[in-house]
Amino acid sequence: MELAAADRPAARPRVPNFSSGPCAKRPGWNLQALSDAALGRSHRSSLGKAKLKQAIDLTRTVLRVPADYRIGIVPASDTGAVEMAMWTMLGERTVEVAAWEAFGLEWVTDALSELKIEPRVHKAPYGTLPDLSAIDTKHNDVVFTWNGTAAGVKVPNGDWIAADREGITICDATSAAFAQPLAWDKIDVLTFSWQKVMGGEAAHGMLVLSPRAVARLESHTPAWPVPKVFRLTKGGKLIEGIFRGDTINTPSMLAVEDYIDTLRWAESIGGLDALHARADANAAAVHAWVARTPWIGHLAVDPATYSNTGVCLVIADPDVLAKGDAAVAAVASGIVETLEREGVALDIGAYRDAPAGLRLWCGATVETADLEALFPWLDWAFANITGNSRKPV
């Protein structure tokens, strides 16, 4: 459908990349940033190991990982890191899994269908959190997502986790790490991937272990086979080399260099506080636009749980809602397709299993000015698709 040129905004986002993963590259990035990559060299060479250790050391510095926590680079992105933890650490005691969107539900599937450990499952619809107070964090192991990438909902803090817990907590923090404060004293296993808040390249995951997690690994033998790429111990002892850069499988040294580059950028702008501030400013801009725009709303129900990275939005226009789910989906997809065709916003559709709507990545590599330039285009696309201006108030 050819849309009317009337009221077409003049300004465009400088960078139209608002994907929730892989996310926008850091400001000013270009291929020259990778010119020092250890290409054509073994990852086990002195140079390769030095690069991998540098990535680990910079992660500790920028993310402020406690000194006694171990950090490892592992295969298969955040998913691989979470599954390594589940396959090697669970089974000793009852497991509680919190799930309120697609990725949390994947960990339920792993626990129920693959490991068959019959967990206690705490589910909630997209846009809400389950009752965290119903989770026995003192006695049981807990698997949860800090920030729901597909739902725009985060846990507000770690207060719901018992300080004197007997089990371990496994936290998927892939869209929270570097953007939101993390309660390290309540987390035993933390996982994330390079391509989210830091805008790195995909395929590699990070596994961060507390001393309690290490103790579990060294004292517990799983009842199921553990694939080679998941094995973190040998002879009942942690394989320490993994946490010094001796990766389990062959990493991309090009991707490693890109991750190092984005960590250096983070240091150059002020470290973790600056990363948090950038994500907060981006999310605040979206929240302000939603507040003044009658046709759009948040998927997240409680403002205390609003994500500052993957901000998920739904069509709120009463005329569209009155026409049913198919009409809502058509408007949402129409906006996505229109703005991609215009080269104004790329990959802003809701996650495929989430309610129809839009999803704007607000992580630290996105510029607030680009989001501000996007909002008039969103209003323009909605008006042209529906014939209803409903201009911001």
Measured in degrees and rounded to the nearest 5, phi and psi for residue 300 equal -65, 135
pLDDT given at position 7: 83
Give the strand order in the sheet containing 169-172.
70-75, 204-209, 189-193, 169-172, 141-145, 95-99, 120-123
As a whole-number percent, the residues of the chain with pLDDT over 70 amount to 97
Q: Per-residue pLDDT for 1 more than 50? A: no
Strands 189-193 and 204-209: antiparallel
Nearest C-alpha neighbor of 19 from the set 351, 386, 304: 351
In this prediction, residue 163 has a pLDDT band, given cuts at 50, 70 and 90, of very high
- Domains located in the chain, CATH noted: 31-267 (3.40.640.10), 271-386 (3.90.1150.10)
Convert the pLDDT of each residue in 25-65 to its tens digit.
999 999 999 999 999 999 999 999 999 999 999 999 999 99
Q: Per-residue pLDDT for 6 more than 80? A: no
Convert the pLDDT of each residue in 266-285 to its tens digit.
999 999 999 999 999 999 99
When the pLDDT of each residue in the chain is averaged and rounded to a whole number, the result is 96
* Average of per-residue pLDDT across 233-262: 96
In this prediction, residue 392 has a pLDDT band, given cuts at 50, 70 and 90, of low
Q: Per-residue pLDDT for 2 more than 60? A: no
Per-residue three-class SS string for the chain: CCCCCCCCCCCCCCCCECCCCCCCCCCCCCHHHHCCCCCCCCCCCHHHHHHHHHHHHHHHHHHCCCCCCEEEEEECHHHHHHHHHHHHHCCCCCEEEEECCHHHHHHHHHHHHHCCCCCEEEECCCCCCCCHHHCCCCCCEEEEECEECCCCEECCCCCCCCCCCCCCEEEECCCCCCCCCCCHHHCCEEEEECCCCCCCCCCEEEEEECHHHHHHHHHCCCCCCCCHHHCCEECCEECHHHHHCCCCCCCCHHHHHHHHHHHHHHHHHCHHHHHHHHHHHHHHHHHHHHHHCCCEEECCCCHHHECCCEEEEEECCHHHHHCCHHHHHHHHHHHHHHHHHCCCCECCECCCCCCCCEEEECCCCCCHHHHHHHHHHHHHHHHHHHCCCCCCC
